[in-house]
Amino acid sequence: MVSVTNGPNNQRTLDLQISDPVSMLNEIARRYESTERILMEYVDNGLDDAETLYRDHDGAYPYPIKIEVVIDFETRSVMIRDNCRGMEREVLERIIKNVGESQKRGLTWVNGRFGFGVQAFRAAADTIQFQTRRKDNAHFMLELQRDQHRGIQGARAIAQPFPSDTGTGSLVTINAFEEEWFETVTVESIKQEIESHFERLLARPNLIISVTEIGQEPVKCEPFRYRDIPGKAIQRVLELELKGETYPIEVHLKVADFEVPGRTVRFFARGRRINQVAEIKSFIRKSQYRTSVWGHPHLLGYIEVGEIVRPVITRDDFVRNKGRNIFYDAILSLEEDLKNGLDRINEAQRDTTLNRLEDVLRQVLDRLARQDRRQLRLYTASKRKAKSSQAENDPNANGANHQATNTGVFDRPGQGADSESASAPGLPASAPEFQSGTTWQFGGEGGAGSEGAASEGTAHWPETGGLGSSGTNFNESPETRPVAPTPGPDDDVNFSYDVEVAQMRPPPARRRQSFDIQFYDIPPDADGQVKRSYLVDATIYINVAHPDFQDRMTYTRQGQPKVSERLGAYIAAIISIHYKDQFYAKYGSMPERRDLLFEEQVDFIFRLESALREYLPELEKELARQKQQQTEAIV
């Protein structure tokens, strides 16, 4: 609504008027996203009142300043009470009727500027009640409804003494919170918000802020002690010049050894939190490293912005002006040092992640190896039974049941098998067969037939892959395995079968895993070539410095390493090279047809990748649990 009046020289002038102030105030209040954040406005009013006492007494509170937050869950109401100076009647009425006016404006030591904080209750509750008493004044009370803007009753005097140890102060009661705004409210949630929002003020002597539920003992809010967190501290006082004035900026940061939830670096103004640095959009747009530095969970602390910048009403950015540009440039000059410190943290976390990934890979390979060892025993038993049956029916076999010669590739189910054993009694036509030209010798009589399926003379393929698809542990006791050919010069893996031992037989000596997996930063060789991996003494070393590995190692926006499925596929392909090479060298079973060779290679990659994928979610959870335990231990 616009009113028109006649000004000097009969010049028409316009006066702005708000036709529906209730709707406007309710819309402004919608910027609050939580009940805890709403309550901070009323705690802050008490702290602003106490700030005058603090400054009037040379930077010290003259008596214990107490601010209490009391929750009544039954009525869904919250009371905030302080024992500070209190307000006069005229001041109380003015903050209600003069919307947008704040007597704090222009006072550099207090926080309120717009006078909207007192209206914050409108986002979540129906009514608010104010009580206040100033020294030598009466005790006054005023009530306000969320939907009321006309006929508001003025403050009235009440006979009861003001309920504080000093007899002065203010008491705000917010009544009838909407249920959805109150369902997550707890004593602890409010305490945490106070400790985060006012952490710098809580360290002052003689300031006591507590939270309690009706009928329970109060819980005191504690300051956060950055000095107790191990890490590299970065403290600066930046002197910024603007229009002939000097503005000090206090920087208190720490690259911490441990993540501390809720303490990532934040901007503060006059001891109150403005927002996380990573959430200030205009600042992040100017940053080179953005959230990888300013949102990193190991970068803790605060930056006291002083008076060179002013937050906007929504407190999610600063007013755009020259002072903001100067301030941003000064803070961003620290970015390179912070990045170097955080890179060391990221490297240590990457090592932790990769160490656990090594363990997971060992487990996965061991599981796949057991499948392949079992299949090899089944195949061997079926082969022996088929040849024994052939020898009984053919007196000219000349001891073929003691020696078998294979001349080709692995025949897979459905591919057909031309060898005699493919159609031998007791062996399905679809069973695989050794055809590599290698002579296999069998020892003992029980042999692989000790397993149930093998004793029936039937070879079964696992659901995925097949003989030669994977496995890291191929040796077997002499009674139950074929005597393998003499290993070649490159065969440095001690293959060993994992077989069930009879109850009366002493347990075998503990042996190391056939393949170990380790991630290393491998430098280029003499020719400048960067290898993806190599095998030394049964250990597969995977090069984390190779560009292909680096390209697949992903990180969160805050620089935390993640094991992606894409990286899992890469690792599976690398391992398959050494695994299949050693398998073929040990057993002489490499297919002669290139297409089957590649098929076996791809088959193993898919099996390993699929098995690894099952572990990745649990690996991420475990790493998160480890970080949480470290945090809890240090905090």
Task: Kindly report, residue by residue over 527-541, the tens digit of the pLDDT.
Answer: 788 889 988 777 888
For 564-585, what is the mean pLDDT? 85
Say what the pLDDT of residue 519 is: 85
CA dist 24 → 30, 148, 178, 314, 464 (Å)? 10, 12, 20, 15, 65
Q: In which band, very low, low, confident or very high, does the pLDDT at 317 lie, cut at 50, 70 and 90? A: confident
Q: Check: CB of residue 53 under 8 Å from CB of residue 62.
A: yes
Task: Look at 199-213, 374-388, 466-480, 551-565 and tell me which has the smallest mean pLDDT.
Answer: 466-480
CA 279, CA 301: separation in Å to the nearest integer?
A: 15
For the chain, how many residues are written? Answer: 635
Say what the pLDDT of residue 24 is: 85
- Decide which of 452 and 228 is more confident: 228
Q: Check: CB of residue 467 under 8 Å from CB of residue 375.
A: yes
* pTM for this predicted structure: 0.60
Q: In which band, very low, low, confident or very high, does the pLDDT at 4 lie, cut at 50, 70 and 90? A: low
Check whether 364 has a pLDDT greater than 90: no
Say what the pLDDT of residue 622 is: 64
Check whether 169 has a pLDDT greater than 50: yes
Check whether 560 has a pLDDT greater than 70: no
DSSP single-letter state for residue 95: H
- 82 backbone dihedrals φ, ψ, rounded to 5°: -130, 165
Check whether 59 has a pLDDT greater than 70: yes
Provide Rg for the chain, Cα atoms: 38
Report H helices in 124-232.
Answer: 179-182, 187-197, 199-202
- Decide which of 42 and 404 is more confident: 42
Q: What is the secondary structure of 520-571 as a DSSP string?
A: E-PPP-TTS---SEEEETTEEEEETTSHHHHHH-EE-TT--EE--HHHHHHH
Say what the pLDDT of residue 3 is: 56
- Decide which of 172 and 468 is more confident: 172
Q: Rounded to an integer, what is the distance from CA 290 to the centroid of its chain?
A: 17
Tokens of 27: 């819309």
Q: Check: CB of residue 170 under 8 Å from CB of residue 86.
A: yes
- Number of Cβ within 10 Å of residue 468's Cβ equals 28
Tokens of 148: 């009321």
Bridge partners for 439 per DSSP: 405
For residue 208, the number of C-alpha atoms closer than 13 Å in the C-beta half-sphere is 11
For 478-493, what is the mean pLDDT? 37
| 3-state secondary structure at position 260 | coil
Tokens of 149: 């803007």
Say what the pLDDT of residue 38 is: 94
CA dist 621 → 47, 193, 563 (Å)? 41, 27, 12
Check whether 131 has a pLDDT greater than 80: yes
Highest mean pLDDT among 41-50, 445-454, 598-607, 616-625: 41-50
DSSP single-letter state for residue 199: H
Beta strands in 196-258 (DSSP E): 207-213, 219-220, 231-242, 245-256
CA 66, CA 165: separation in Å to the nearest integer?
A: 9
Check whether 500 has a pLDDT greater than 50: no
Q: Check: CB of residue 155 under 8 Å from CB of residue 141.
A: yes
- Decide which of 311 and 486 is more confident: 311
Q: Which amino acid is at 137?
A: N
| 3-state secondary structure at position 375 | helix
In percent, the amount of the chain with pLDDT more than 90 equals: 41
For 96-115, what is the mean pLDDT? 55
Among 91, 101, 120, residue whose Cα is nearest residue 30 = 120
pLDDT in tens, 383-398: 788 888 777 776 665 5
Among 389, 472, 379, 505, residue whose Cα is nearest residue 431 = 379
Among 351, 338, 272, residue whose Cα is nearest residue 304 = 272
Check whether 336 has a pLDDT greater than 80: yes
Say what the pLDDT of residue 102 is: 56
Q: Long-range contact list for 624-627, CB < 8 A, 24+ apart? A: 626/352, 627/258, 627/259
Check whether 448 has a pLDDT greater than 90: no
Q: In which band, very low, low, confident or very high, does the pLDDT at 416 lie, cut at 50, 70 and 90? A: very low
Say what the pLDDT of residue 115 is: 63
Check whether 271 has a pLDDT greater than 70: yes
